Amino acid sequence: MSQPKVDVVLKNACSSIGEGPHWDDASKSLMYVDIKNNDVHRYNTATGQDEVRHLKDTVSLVVPRRAGGYVVGLGRRLSVLEWNTGMVSTVQEVDGDTGNRFNDGKCDAKGRLWAGTMGPELHGKGFEPEAGSLYCLDVDRSIEKKVSKVHISNGLAWTDDNKTFYYIDSVPRKVYAYDFDLETGAISKKRTAVDFAPYSKETHGLPDGMTIDTDGKLWVACYGAAAVFKCDPETGKILQKIDIPAKETTSVCWGGKNLDELYVTCALVNLSPEEFKTKYPLAGSIFKVTGTGSKGHPANMYKG
């Protein structure tokens, strides 16, 4: 098995929670967000320029839109951000009268956006349990709730044949699999594909963001584990661990010219100043993993 190399692409790029990496193949740019700083970033790998748009609420996901601009998860809203003007317009709002917010989201092969919510933080005791849901925003801008009673809605991925949908709820520490109907967007037959619960949180953390490679293997960033794990959803086995020099690893995506570079985001929250200074000085950075021997597919954009 290849011995991957981990490089820092942007040091301490995020000062809260770096998340939602999305490789925009057309512009060779890495999109990502800094959730609690309310920032959307666009890092042009050709020029080295990292542009930022500051919004007025937590921003949890960013996906290019075929008609222009980007769809972002903004608090409890899915909105369109026009990059050049900074203008934001709401498409849908969910979970009214709650302290919920959107978290991770991605588009399927039909250009529908799948995005989930999570409950508000409880004072030092995690998040409100089972307060979130998984939604699907169709290309006609209608929205449908697909899964209820979610703790922390996170990583999403689809198999090459679009017959299986993978979805993470972080608190049970499971990657679920569903049968998926691409034409209708229907999901059914929920089961556990990869279970992190038997492993300690110290070594394997909470499964967070996720991507899939061309061989159908899942790459899962695990929050609190300073690592990304390669998993086989067919057997449930963890195949490989890639150590990342930042404790709160949040998400991953394939990028680069050949889509064989694994970009990794992480958070800087929950670290004491001493921990940041002595143990994890690269917290909040954007990392690039090469030499994995794997590659991904181009990411889908929103077609609505």
Domain residue spans in the chain?
5-290
121 labeled part of a ligand binding site: yes
C-beta separation of 40 from 61 below 8 A: no
Is 208 among the annotated ligand-binding positions? yes
For 77, 93, 103, 138, the CA distances from 144, given in Å and listed in that order, are 14, 11, 16, 8
Q: What span, in angstroms and rounded, lies between the C-alpha atoms of 182 and 122?
A: 37
Tokens describing residue 276: 């940041």
Q: What is the pTM of this model?
A: 0.97
Determine the distance from the C-alpha atom of residue 53 to the mean position of all C-alpha atoms in its chain, rounded to a whole number.
Answer: 19
Q: Which two tokens stand for residue 267?
A: 């958070």
**Quick one: residue 270, left, alpha or beta (phi over 0 = left, psi -120 to 50 = alpha)?**
left
Q: Say yes or no: domain 5-290 is CATH 2.120.10.30.
A: yes
pLDDT tens, 226-259?
999 999 999 999 999 999 999 999 999 999 999 9
Share of the chain above pLDDT 90, in %: 95
261 marked among binding-site residues: no
Q: Is the pLDDT of residue 157 over 80?
A: yes
Per the annotation, does 101 bind a ligand?
Answer: yes
Upper half-sphere CA count for residue 145 (Cβ side, 13 Å): 10
Is 154 marked within a binding site? yes
Give the tens place of pLDDT for each residue, 39-50. Answer: 999 999 999 999
The HSE-up count of residue 35 (CA atoms within 13 Å, CB side) is: 23
Question: Does 66 belong to an annotated binding site?
Answer: no
pLDDT tens readout for residues 191-210: 999 999 999 999 999 999 99
The whole-angstrom distance between residue 48's C-alpha and the CA centroid of its chain comes to 22
Active site residues: 208
Of 303, 287, 217, the C-alpha closest to 30 is 287
Tell me how far apart the alpha carbons of residues 255 and 249 are, in angstroms, rounded to a whole number.
18
**DSSP code at position 252:** E
